[in-house]
Amino acid sequence: MNLPHKYNYGSLFGFSGIDGENLHKNDFVGMLMHQPVQIRFDASNPVTLAVDVNSDKMRVVLSDALQSDELLLVFADKTTVIGRTRCRVRISTAVRCALQTRRGAQLLQANGFCYALLTQGDRFVFCREKTAALALAAAQEKLALDIDAIYQQRLAYYEAMPLCRRPQYEPLYYKCLSVNRVNVYSPQDGFTGRFTTPDRLPHKDMWLWDSAFHAITFAQYDGEMAKEALLAVLQCQTADGFIPHRMRSTTDLSDITQPQVLAWAALEVFRKTGDKDFLARCADKIAAFELWFLKNRDLNGNGLLEWKTDYNNVRCRCDESGMDNSPRFDTIETLDAIDASCFMVHDCRCLAEIYRILGNEAEAARFQQIGDDMAQKINDLLWDDDRGAYCDRTLSGDLTGVLSCCSFLPLFAGVCTEERAAKLVALLHDEGTFATPLPVPSISRDHADYGADMWRGCVWLNFNYFTILGLRRYGYDDEAKALQERTLQSVNRWFEETGNVFEFYDAEDKIAPWRLNRKGPQPEVPDYRTRMHAITDFNWSACFTLLMLQDA
């Protein structure tokens, strides 16, 4: 295996819920900091574990294991890191806190916990417990753990994975598997199965459409994990069919939702696992969610959907769409949204297929009709002849003329005619709109606010993947292949330079992702505690990279 070996700021380091119990509240998870090897375990008062080794000489950098000639470091369980080195090891905190030594161990009290570092010869244990006595006892007990055996267990996970179909991208492939792995929590907080998160630092919670994307990817190599990820989302559904966009537990829920991709995800998981019982557990819940959308997100009753939008929040006007600061929502007017409507069409058609598999022809026909009717409305009301593309429409009936990555969703949903598909493909070749060095920008190049700030021009891998699937649907295989290859080249370039996969990327492919704006400019030295940058080890970016690498 050609495993990732680039050490740099931003990579997550934690114990995965795939291996056993881990934490959601008070998560003991670290982030690699700048050289030398430093891992910051982040809470209100960060505690840092540092090892004075040459981080340029790392041979393996995974989400739960680091290995070089000078160091072997492994996350052993939910509260314990074990290591072997002859170099100096120390712990520190940024706040005023007395570092105590007791029975050979260094102890720090911070964040309501005691952090202990115990060394013996070339071995060391770093752990966190509620009290000093517990931390000391745990450190002494875990010095006896077989670090080589645990390290081999970690490597065995990757050895069991399907081979990478693109050998030139093999380190990136294993990096993405590592990101998927670290962002899994064990059952807790009311969840009866494992669940996923976009990134354990800083987001931590479970998100609706992120979980669907994670499930689609896990289905390629771990069907049980894929099923659990989706079922965890459905556990949070309320009696009226609503599913929140963010879930801290099965009862601590947000009051907005996210795009309709659950039926698509459930169908993809079924196609890989063949588990009809799983489909049956999902179908009626997803149907209730789609019907909730029809009832609650069509204010003018014209058969198209809107997002709930907060026009007082300049930094995040439409969290519900997932496109927080997109210029689409600068109109300060509620929109018949091209994405809300296209996702609904696609998901209803997937749900119809699910019901056909389950032998329920009546429900299959019902959701097929819902999808077909909305597809007709999209073609009738959201096509802009002047721009040769689909766009949003105000409730007063005016097309906005704002072209975004959402303008290509009718390809993904199978909504447009062959003639209109050709016009959309022409836009992908147009350097004035979407033919950027790294396509597909989240807003067209000719928009006044096009730039390098999140949804105001940057590239997001989920929309690139939607566009690739849409191009394939309409027979534009060459364009789909070109977009896929260009995306992988850029993701790999920045991975090789930084060791990370990122939340979003520069459409001009010039700016390192963590220096892109994220609702504002970044400091010279990236540090998300100072200013949130494009998130590192972002799970859905890893997922879509894996899907593209494996041509899934």
Dihedral of the alpha carbons of 484, 490, 494, 499, in degrees to the nearest 10: 20
Distance CA 236, CA 232 (A): 7
Residues 153 and 171 in one domain: no
Distance CA 242, CA 163 (A): 39
Residues 393 and 505 in one domain: yes
Residues 141 and 192 in one domain: no
Residues 119 and 194 in one domain: no
Sequence-ordered list of residues with C-beta below 8 angstroms from that of 7, at least 6 positions apart, any chain = 32, 35, 37, 55, 56, 58, 61, 66, 499
Residue 342 belongs to some domain of the structure = no
Helix (H, G, I), strand (E, B) or coil at 522: coil
Residue with tokens 């907060």: 310
* Domain C-terminal end among 159, 177, 196: 159
Residues 412 and 388 in one domain: yes
Nearest to residue 500, comparing CAs of 474, 476, 530, 528? 528
Report field, pTM of the whole predicted structure over 0.95: yes
Residue 101, pLDDT score: 80
Instruction: Quick: pLDDT tens for 493-545.
Output: 999 999 999 999 999 999 999 999 998 888 888 888 888 899 999 999 999 99
Using CB atoms within 10 A of its CB, is residue 361 exposed (0-12), middle (13-18) or buried (19+)? exposed
Residue 269 belongs to some domain of the structure = no
Sequence-ordered list of residues with C-beta below 8 angstroms from that of 49, at least 6 positions apart, any chain = 30, 38, 39, 41, 81, 89, 90, 91, 117, 126
Q: Are 457 and 534 in contact (CB under 8 A)?
A: no
Q: Are 194 and 228 in contact (CB under 8 A)?
A: yes
Pairing of strands 389-390, 383-384: antiparallel
* Domain C-terminal end among 129, 159, 189: 159
Residues 183 and 147 in one domain: no
Residues 63 and 209 in one domain: no
Residues 422 and 524 in one domain: yes
Residue 266 belongs to some domain of the structure = no
Residues 43 and 136 in one domain: yes
* Domain C-terminal end among 159, 184, 204: 159
Distance CA 200, CA 216 (A): 20
Residue 106 belongs to some domain of the structure = yes
Residue 534 belongs to some domain of the structure = yes
Helix (H, G, I), strand (E, B) or coil at 73: strand
Helix (H, G, I), strand (E, B) or coil at 383: strand
Nearest to residue 47, comparing CAs of 85, 92, 98, 104? 92
Distance CA 56, CA 59 (A): 9
Question: Residue 274: left (phi > 0), alpha (psi -120 to 50), or beta?
Answer: left
Residue 97, pLDDT score: 67
Residues of the chain with confidence (pLDDT) below 70: 96-98
Residue 463: which domain range? 167-257+317-336+383-549
Using CB atoms within 10 A of its CB, is residue 472 exposed (0-12), middle (13-18) or buried (19+)? middle
DSSP 194: -
Residues 534 and 405 in one domain: yes
Which CATH number fits the domain that encloses residue 510? 1.50.10.10
Residues 324 and 458 in one domain: yes
Residue 130 belongs to some domain of the structure = yes
Q: Are 198 and 540 in contact (CB under 8 A)?
A: yes
Using CB atoms within 10 A of its CB, is residue 532 exposed (0-12), middle (13-18) or buried (19+)? middle
Distance CA 2, CA 12 (A): 19
Residues 183 and 332 in one domain: yes
Q: What is the 3-state secondary structure (H, E, C) of 272-327?
A: HHCCHHHHHHHHHHHHHHHHHHHHHCCCCCCCCCCCCCCCCCCCCCCHHHCCCCCH
Residue 311 belongs to some domain of the structure = no
Alpha helices (runs of H) in 474-551, residue ranges in sequence order: 477-498, 539-549
Q: Are 319 and 310 in contact (CB under 8 A)?
A: yes
Residue with tokens 């149907």: 287
Q: How many CB atoms lie within 10 A of CB 205?
A: 19
Residue 302 belongs to some domain of the structure = no
Q: In total, how many domains does the chain have?
A: 2
Helix (H, G, I), strand (E, B) or coil at 66: strand
Q: Are 266 and 274 in contact (CB under 8 A)?
A: no
Distance CA 434, CA 211 (A): 28
How far is Cα of residue 228 from the mean position of the Cα atoms in its chain?
Answer: 16
